[in-house]
Structure 1
Amino acid sequence: MQSTQHTEDVVYAGFWRRWAALFIDQLILGVGFYGTLFAVAILVGIAGGMEWIETLDSGDANPAVMVAYIGFVLLYYVAAALYFSLFESSRHQATPGKMALGIKVVDQHGQRLSFGHALGRWVAATLSYLTLYIGFLMAAFTERKRALHDMVAGTLVVDRWAFSEHPERQRRDLGGCLIAAILVVVLMFGIAILGILAAIALPAYQDYLQRSRVMQAMTDTAPLKTMVADFRTAEGRCPFNGEGGIGPEESIGGTLASRVVVGSFDDGSCGIEQELGNTGHPDLDGGTIWWQLDLDDARWHCSSDIRDAWLPQECRG
């Protein structure tokens, strides 16, 4: 027999309450699924089969492994179908997410869904996903706050006290759980954005620090370049360590150089080889900068085996 009990006062669940409830449900499903997947991976690893994970990453997985992986993904959808169908056809008429937000699912007459009806509603939700979530967004604009899959399945999402003996308990304002859910989501998005920014900014800052150390080491060679150029002009040849006031390899070049060699290249041009040290960075210590005095224009040119991101533009390969 069709029920018309208290149908004159129904508070339909708005978009934000529904969205927050779905977020909670997806979080529960996701944690359960990936937690199970991780546990299985650990057990397989303990049994000595971690190579299947490596084959997935390399793209060379054998068919049996791929079938198992696809089966596990399909298992997620089976679990999701049972999760939504069993909860929404239960006496609570709601998933844990909907219960937390104080809403429930009913048919068009305010009655509890059967398992088959709830399962059909879950399948119909595929349409809302296929429409790039526009189907879900419809709940913000339709008269009874119905999403696309509600229209297809003939269901309503209402306040938990709708179609009950106490319709006066229905909430029309934002409940505490909804506000908390929105804050959690905003916080998570904020953390995610900060994480992305940090992932971009920290390497850039590290590159800046190493570049500043390289620049400092290069600046320390400025007096040597002047001494080398003056010696060549006066003597007609390139100086070596110990000549023209140039000190030994280990005693010149500033605090960021482990040694500095002054001499000539194979083409007869004068040069300075500076090996970095004491920089505090293992990838920078041991790096080498070469300065070469051009025989024609008397200008210095630099090259290096240090990564380009840490070098000034004129020294990059």
Structure 2
Amino acid sequence: MKKMQKGFTLIELMIVVAIIAILAAIAIPAYQDYLIRSQVTEGVTLMDGAKVAVTEFYSNHGTFPSTQVSAGLPVAASISGSYVSGVAITPSTGVITATFSDTGGHKANTAINGDMVSLSPIEIVGGNLKWSCKAGTTAVSPKYLPSTCR
């Protein structure tokens, strides 16, 4: 009389482990990209308040603000988030820049540490502004930018 086998053989277990490893090798980098994109989105969202302030200042004065305070905003370091160390307005051009940092309580991923994303105003007829989102001088990789910035 033959004894019935119970449980899994070693080869079956090795195949399952290999399949899990392959799935993890695909999922972990995709998740890392997702996390970085969400951090960059925070920067773009923090720039929205400055965008409104610069647009209002431009429509009232016909020029860009010379300082953040003249636009009705606090200093750059005061506009920060979990991943963004500050949002600054470039005087006389109106360009708004968010800088990502992993120091001083900020937890930006090392892939974007020190990088910037910018909103640049484009003047159109009638005193209105259109905004162009792009990677800053120390550029965030295009794959991490929100769809509105690509």
Work out which of the residue numbers 223, 227, 235 in structure 1 matches 2:61. 235
Unpaired runs of at least 5, structure 2: none
RMSD of aligned alpha carbons: 2.3
Report the count of equivalent residues: 139
Note the C-alpha offset of 1:188: 1.2
Q: Deviations over 1:49-100 (max 9, x none)?
A: xxxxxxxxxxxxxxxxxxxxxxxxxxxxxxxxxxxxxxxxxxxxxxxxxxxx
Q: Deviations over 1:179-226 (max 9, x none)?
A: 77x622221111111111111111111111111111122111111100
Work out which of the residue numbers 114, 121, 139 in structure 2 matches 1:286. 114
Q: Deviations over 1:3-25 (max 9, x none)?
A: xxxxxxxxxxxxxxxxxxxxxxx
Larger % of helix: which? 1
Query: What is the distance in 2 between the residues matched to 1:299 and 1:232?
Result: 12
Q: Deviations over 1:272-308 (max 9, x none)?
A: 0111121342222211011011111622111111123
1:251 is the counterpart of 2:82: no
Does the CA-based 8 Å contact 1:271-1:291 persist in structure 2? yes
3-state SS of paired residue (1:188): helix
Query: What is the distance in 1 between the residues matched to 2:111 and 2:31?
Result: 16
1:275 is the counterpart of 2:99: yes
Q: How does 1:144-159 map to 2 (within 5 A)?
A: none
Higher relative CO (Cα under 8 Å, sequence separation at least 6) belongs to 2
Query: What is the distance in 2 between the residues matched to 1:210 and 1:174?
Result: 55
Moved beyond 6 Å, runs of 4+: none
Q: Deviations over 1:118-138 (max 9, x none)?
A: xxxxxxxxxxxxxxxxxxxxx
Amino acid in structure 1 at the alignment position of 2:110:
P
Larger % of strand: which? 2
1:303 is the counterpart of 2:134: yes
Query: What is the distance in 2 between the residues matched to 1:193 and 1:228?
Result: 53
TM-score, normalization by structure 2: 0.79
Note the C-alpha offset of 1:255: 4.1
Query: What is the distance in 1 between the residues matched to 2:39 and 2:88?
Result: 19
Change beyond 3 A, Cα 1:254–1:238? farther
Query: What is the distance in 2 between the residues matched to 1:280 and 1:290?
Result: 17
Work out which of the residue numbers 190, 202, 205 in structure 1 matches 2:31. 205
